[in-house]
Amino acid sequence: MEKKPIFKPNKEFAKTARIKNMCEYHELQDEAIEDYEGFWGRFAKEKLSWKEPFTKVMDESNYPFVKWFEGGKLNVSEQCIDRHLDKRKNKAAIIFEGDRGDKQIITYLELYYNVNRFANLLKNEFGVKKGDRVVIYMPMIPEAAYAMLACARIGAIHSIVFGGFSAEALKDRIEDADAKVVITADGAYRKDKPYMLKPVVDAALAEGGPVEKVLVVERNNEDIRWVEGRDYSYNELIKMQEVTCKAEIMDSEDPLFLLYTSGSTGKPKGVQHNSAGYILWAQMTMEWVFDVKENDTFWCTADIGWITGHTYIVYGPLAMGATTVMFEGVPTYPDAGRPWKMVEEYKINQFYTAPTAIRVLHKMGEHEPAKYDLSSLKVLGTVGEPIDPPAWKWYYEEVGGSKCAIVDTYWQTETGGHIVSPLPGATPIKPGCATFPLPGIMGEILDPATGERVEVGETGYMCITKPWPSMIRGVWGDEERFVKSYFGDVQKDGKPVYFTGDGAVYDEDGYITITGRTDDVINVSGHRMGTAEIEAAIKKHSNVAEVAVVGKPHELKGEGIFAYIVLKDDKGVADEVEEAKIINNIIKKEIGNIAICDDMVFAPGLPKTRSGKIMRRILRAIAKGEPITQDISTLEDPGIVEKIETMVKSK
Ligand code: PRX
C-alpha cells in the first residue's frame, strides 16, 4: 500500500479543542468499550434536556430493532430552541444568505417565534397531529428549517424531498409515507433567476393521493396555480398565528423524520430516525468533529434535502446552540469566489462541503481563495465521497492556509451522524482517509465470509458491530427490508451486524480508508443513486428491451452514470444523440436532473451468465476502460464483450 503523508493537528487549536489528543480519544473509546450503556447514558444525561429521565439506556431484546433511552421524554424543537433562550436569545441561530445576496439574521428568540407560529399553523389550520407525515419540498430558505422544527414541535414526522427531484419521484415519496400535508414554495432563485417548485407539486398531486393540504411559502412571487381548498399561502396564514405553541411531549423513540434514500434494489427506502438518539449524536458530533465554540459561525453547504443538511445545517448546530449559515445560491455564482467571500464576510469558522464542490471550486477558481481573508477558518470538512489528493491539497493549502484540520467525515443517511472521522485537535490526518471510528461507534472492517477483522491492506466490509443511538430505526412500512438491507450480509460471533454497504481497508497504522460501495449504488456528486432506479426509469421507454447502469469515474462528479441499452428493434439507432436525449428526458421526468446519464451505449446485447444474470462487473470494467479479468468463456454469448468494448472505445 502506498504510504500517505501525515498532517499533525494544529497545536494552538488542539489546546482548546474538546478532544485534545489521541490519549483523550482512546480514553473515551475505552470507556465505551468497557461500559457501553454507561457511556451513552452519561452523554444522554449531560447533553439533552429531559422532561422525564430515561429508565433504560438500550434495549436490544428485539435486535436488530433496538430502543434507546426508553422512558425518557423530550421534544427535539425544545432541544434546538427553547433551552437556549436563557443564555442565547439574542444570538444568531441562522444566518441566511439568498442567491441574490439578500441577507437575514435570525436570532434564537426569533427562531422560537417563527417555529411556534409555524407549528400553530400546521396544528390549528391544517389539523396536523402527532405521528402524521408531512412532506417538505422546499428551497434553501429559513422557512425550510422552521418547517422541520415546527413538525418536531407538534410531533409530526417530516419527510424532506430534495428540490431537484421530479414530480414522479415526489409523488412516490408522498404516497409511500402517506403524507397528508406538503409544505413547499412557489420557487426560489438560482443564479439570479427565479426557478419554480410549486408546479412540480401540482404535477405530483395531479392524480389525487393522500395529500389534503399544501402550504406555499411565497419566495419569488412568480405566478403559480392555487387549488381552492387545497393550497394555502404561508405568508398570509402565518400572520394570524399565536407566537407560542406548547411542545408535544415525545418519547425518546417517537419518530422524528423520514428521509428517502437509494438502495441497491427497488424503490428508495424511507429511512426512519427517532427523537432522542438522533438529536444526541447530532449534537455530540457537532461538538467533537467540528469543535464549534460559543462565538463560532458554522457553514455546511449541503441542501436540507439530504441527510447532511438535516444533521449539520439544522439539528446539530441548533441542538448545541450554535450559529448556522444557510445559503440559497450556487457556490460558483456570480463567480467561484462566492463561498470565500461569504467566509470573509461572516467570519466563518468551520466550513463543511463535498469533494465534488471542492473540485468545481478548484477548477473554476483556483486562485479565488487568496483574494479573501479566510483567517477565521479553523476546521474544514468533507463528506459524501472519497476526496482525491489534488482536491485535498488545494482545500488544505489554499482554503485552509495549511493550518486547518480537514475532517473527512464518513457516514450515511442511515447513521444519522458521522461514524468514522478525524477529530480536529487530536487525529493526525492522512489525505483521503476517514481515519478512526468516533468514540462510542464500534466500527470495524470485517471479512464477510468469516466475520473476522480483516488484515492490514485487505479490503473488507465497513460494519458497526453494536447498535448506536442515532442509527436508522427502520425502513418506513417495511420491516423485512430493514433487516435484509442492513443485517443480512455480515455476522460477527454468530450475530448479524450493521453493514454500511461500503468497502474499506486498514493501513499499517490502523487508519480506515473507505473504498466505495460494494452494491449497485453509485455516488454522483456526493448524491447516492441506485442503479436499479435509473434502470427502471430507462425501461419506461417503449423501445428499450434491456438496460444496465454502472458508475464510471468522472473528473468533477466523482462518479458519472453510464448506461448500456439494448433496444427492442435491432435495426440500430438512426440518431444516437436524439435517442439519448429522449431517454434522458424520461429520466428527468421519473427521477430528476441529478440522475441523467453522462454516457449511453446502444449495445446489441448485454454480457450474461447462462442463467441470465447481467455481469455488471464486466460492464463496469469496460466503462472504465480497464482490462477484463474475469473468465468470459462461460457467458451465454462471450462474443458480446468484445463488441461492446469496441463500441465504447470508438465513442
Ligand atoms: O459510500 C459512502 C459515501 O456516501 C454514502 C452515503 O450516502 P448518503 O446516505 O447519501 O449520505 C451522504 C452524506 C453522509 C456512503 O455509503 N460516503 C459518505 N461519506 C464518505 C463517503 N465515502 C467516502 N468518504 C466519505 N467521507
**CATH code for the domain of 243:** 3.40.50.12780
Residues 417 and 547 grouped into a single domain: no
C-alpha cell of residue 277: 438518539
Residue 507 lies in a domain: no
Q: For the CA atoms of 8, 346, 375, 306, what is the dihedral angle to 10 degrees?
A: 30
CA of 526 to the centre of ligand 1 (A): 7
User: Does the structure show a pLDDT above 80 at 376?
Assistant: yes
Nearest-angstrom CA–CA distance, 284 and 48: 10
- CA 157 vs. chain centroid, Å, equals 18
Predicted pLDDT at 267: 87
What domain range includes position 120?
Answer: 11-496
Does ligand 1 have an atom closer than 6 angstroms to the CB of 277?
no
Which protein residue has the closest C-alpha to ligand 1 atom 14? 412
List of residues 6+ apart from 127 with CB closer than 8 A = none
Predicted pLDDT at 526: 86
Q: Can you tell me whether residue 74 is helix, strand or coil?
A: strand
CA of 513 to the centre of ligand 1 (A): 12
Going by C-alpha positions, the residue among 488, 513, 460, 498 that lies closest to residue 265 is: 488
Residue 294 lies in a domain: yes
Strand-strand pairing, 181-185 and 133-137? parallel
Predicted pLDDT at 249: 98
Which protein residue has the closest C-alpha to ligand 1 atom 8? 412
Which segment of 30-34, 193-197, 256-260, 527-531 scores lowest on mean pLDDT? 527-531
Domain count, the chain: 2
For 71-97, what is each residue's pLDDT tens digit?
A: 999 999 999 999 999 999 999 999 999
Helical segments of 242-310, H only:
275-285, 307-309
Q: Supply the DSSP symbol for 614.
A: B
User: Does the structure show a pLDDT above 70 at 1?
Assistant: no
Predicted pLDDT at 634: 87
For 156-170, what is each residue's pLDDT tens digit?
A: 999 999 999 999 999
Does ligand 1 have an atom closer than 6 angstroms to the CB of 434?
yes
Mean pLDDT of 105-113: 98
Predicted pLDDT at 573: 72
Nearest-angstrom CA–CA distance, 265 and 305: 21
Residues 81 and 135 grouped into a single domain: yes
Instruction: Categorize the per-residue pLDDT at 4 as very low, low, confident or very high, splitting at 50, 70 and 90.
Output: confident
CATH number at residue 611: 3.30.300.30
Nearest-angstrom CA–CA distance, 178 and 551: 32
Q: Which of 161, 289, 514, when mutated, tests ligand 1's pocket best, judged by the most ligand atoms within 8 Å of its CB?
A: 514
Does ligand 1 have an atom closer than 6 angstroms to the CB of 501?
yes
Is 129:114 a contact under the CB 8 Å cutoff? no
C-alpha cell of residue 93: 441561530
- CA 481 vs. chain centroid, Å, equals 20
Nearest-angstrom CA–CA distance, 366 and 362: 5
The overall average pLDDT reported for the chain is 96
User: Does the structure show a pLDDT above 90 at 108?
Assistant: yes
Going by C-alpha positions, the residue among 589, 240, 284, 526 that lies closest to residue 417 is: 284
| Helix (DSSP H) and strand (DSSP E) numbers for the chain | 21, 32
User: Does the structure show a pLDDT above 90 at 296?
Assistant: yes
Instruction: Categorize the per-residue pLDDT at 3 as very low, low, confident or very high, splitting at 50, 70 and 90.
Output: confident
Predicted pLDDT at 574: 73
Does ligand 1 have an atom closer than 6 angstroms to the CB of 413?
yes
CA of 425 to the centre of ligand 1 (A): 23
Going by C-alpha positions, the residue among 327, 391, 316, 329 that lies closest to residue 355 is: 391
User: Does the structure show a pLDDT above 80 at 142?
Assistant: yes
Q: End of a domain among 496, 511, 542?
A: 496
Does ligand 1 have an atom closer than 6 angstroms to the CB of 500?
yes
Nearest-angstrom CA–CA distance, 143 and 634: 58
Which protein residue has the closest C-alpha to ligand 1 atom 12? 384
Does ligand 1 have an atom closer than 6 angstroms to the CB of 310?
no
Instruction: Categorize the per-residue pLDDT at 570 as very low, low, confident or very high, splitting at 50, 70 and 90.
Output: low
Mean pLDDT of 210-225: 98
Predicted pLDDT at 33: 98
517 residue type, one letter: R
Residues 105 and 227 grouped into a single domain: yes
Q: Does 193 belong to an annotated binding site?
A: yes
Nearest-angstrom CA–CA distance, 273 and 270: 10
Bridge partner list, 238? none
CA of 123 to the centre of ligand 1 (A): 36
What backbone phi and psi angles, to 5 degrees, belong to 92? -70, 125
Does ligand 1 have an atom closer than 6 angstroms to the CB of 422?
no
Instruction: Categorize the per-residue pLDDT at 572 as very low, low, confident or very high, splitting at 50, 70 and 90.
Output: low
Nearest-angstrom CA–CA distance, 511 and 3: 11
Nearest-angstrom CA–CA distance, 465 and 627: 36
Residues 199 and 238 grouped into a single domain: yes
Ligand 1 atom showing the smallest separation from residue 517 Cα: 1
Q: Does 477 belong to an annotated binding site?
A: no
Instruction: Categorize the per-residue pLDDT at 348 as very low, low, confident or very high, splitting at 50, 70 and 90.
Output: very high
For 48-71, what is each residue's pLDDT tens digit?
A: 999 999 999 999 999 999 999 999
Q: Which of 528, 531, 559, when mutated, tests ligand 1's pocket best, judged by the most ligand atoms within 8 Å of its CB?
A: 528
Residue 5 lies in a domain: no
What's the ipTM?
A: 0.99
Residue 463 lies in a domain: yes
Does ligand 1 have an atom closer than 6 angstroms to the CB of 520?
no
List of residues 6+ apart from 44 with CB closer than 8 A = 54, 57, 68, 69, 72, 276, 280, 469
Residues 393 and 532 grouped into a single domain: no
Q: End of a domain among 450, 479, 496?
A: 496
Residues 144 and 20 grouped into a single domain: yes
For 421-480, what is each residue's pLDDT tens digit?
A: 999 999 999 999 999 999 999 999 999 999 999 999 999 999 999 999 999 999 999 999
Which protein residue has the closest C-alpha to ligand 1 atom 5? 412
CA of 632 to the centre of ligand 1 (A): 33
Task: Calculate the alpha carbon distances from 449 to 446, 453, 485, 492 in Å.
Answer: 9, 11, 17, 10
Q: Can you tell me whether residue 586 is helix, strand or coil?
A: helix
Residue 513 lies in a domain: no
What is 376-394 written as a DSSP string? Answer: T--EEEEESSPPPHHHHHH
Instruction: Categorize the per-residue pLDDT at 651 as very low, low, confident or very high, splitting at 50, 70 and 90.
Output: confident
CA of 411 to the centre of ligand 1 (A): 5
First to last CA, the chain: 34
Residues 345 and 400 grouped into a single domain: yes
For 482-497, what is each residue's pLDDT tens digit?
A: 999 999 999 999 999 9
Ligand 1 atom showing the smallest separation from residue 528 Cα: 10
What backbone phi and psi angles, to 5 degrees, belong to 477? 70, 10
Mean pLDDT of 32-45: 98
Residues 325 and 455 grouped into a single domain: yes
For 93-105, what is each residue's pLDDT tens digit?
A: 999 999 999 999 9
Nearest-angstrom CA–CA distance, 279 and 50: 12
Strand-strand pairing, 558-567 and 544-554? antiparallel
Does ligand 1 have an atom closer than 6 angstroms to the CB of 307?
yes
Ligand 1 atom showing the smallest separation from residue 421 Cα: 26
Residue 90 lies in a domain: yes
Residue 281 lies in a domain: yes
Q: Which of 382, 387, 412, when mutated, tests ligand 1's pocket best, judged by the most ligand atoms within 8 Å of its CB?
A: 412
CA of 516 to the centre of ligand 1 (A): 8
Instruction: Categorize the per-residue pLDDT at 207 as very low, low, confident or very high, splitting at 50, 70 and 90.
Output: very high
> Sign of the C-alpha dihedral, residues 41, 43, 45, 49?
negative
Predicted pLDDT at 211: 98
What backbone phi and psi angles, to 5 degrees, belong to 101? 90, 0
Element holding 217 (H helix, E strand): strand 213-217
Residue 506 lies in a domain: no
C-alpha cell of residue 601: 451505449
Predicted pLDDT at 547: 96
Residues 486 and 607 grouped into a single domain: no
Is 412:500 a contact under the CB 8 Å cutoff? yes
Does ligand 1 have an atom closer than 6 angstroms to the CB of 383?
yes
In degrees, rounded to 5, the angle at the alpha carbon of residue 101 between the alpha carbons of residues 97 and 104 is: 40
Q: Does 209 belong to an annotated binding site?
A: no
User: Does the structure show a pLDDT above 80 at 265?
Assistant: no
Going by C-alpha positions, the residue among 565, 651, 562 that lies closest to residue 598 is: 562
Q: Can you tell me whether residue 255 is helix, strand or coil?
A: strand
Is 68:60 a contact under the CB 8 Å cutoff? no
Residues 71 and 125 grouped into a single domain: yes
Nearest-angstrom CA–CA distance, 485 and 482: 5
User: Does the structure show a pLDDT above 80 at 319?
Assistant: yes
Helical segments of 231-354, H only:
234-237, 275-285, 307-309, 316-319, 338-346
Mean pLDDT of 274-287: 98
User: Does the structure show a pLDDT above 90 at 2?
Assistant: no
Predicted pLDDT at 471: 98
Residues 476 and 540 grouped into a single domain: no
Q: Does 133 belong to an annotated binding site?
A: no
Q: Does 541 belong to an annotated binding site?
A: yes
Share of the chain above pLDDT 90, in %: 94
Predicted pLDDT at 630: 84
Strand-strand pairing, 92-97 and 103-107? antiparallel
Q: Does 308 belong to an annotated binding site?
A: yes
Is 587:543 a contact under the CB 8 Å cutoff? no
Instruction: Categorize the per-residue pLDDT at 266 as very low, low, confident or very high, splitting at 50, 70 and 90.
Output: confident
Residues 474 and 537 grouped into a single domain: no
Does ligand 1 have an atom closer than 6 angstroms to the CB of 435?
no
The angle, 0 to 180 degrees and rounded to 10, between the axes of the packed helices 639-649 and 616-624 is 30
- Residue 569 vs residue 584, higher pLDDT: 584
Is 592:165 a contact under the CB 8 Å cutoff? yes
List of residues 6+ apart from 639 with CB closer than 8 A = none
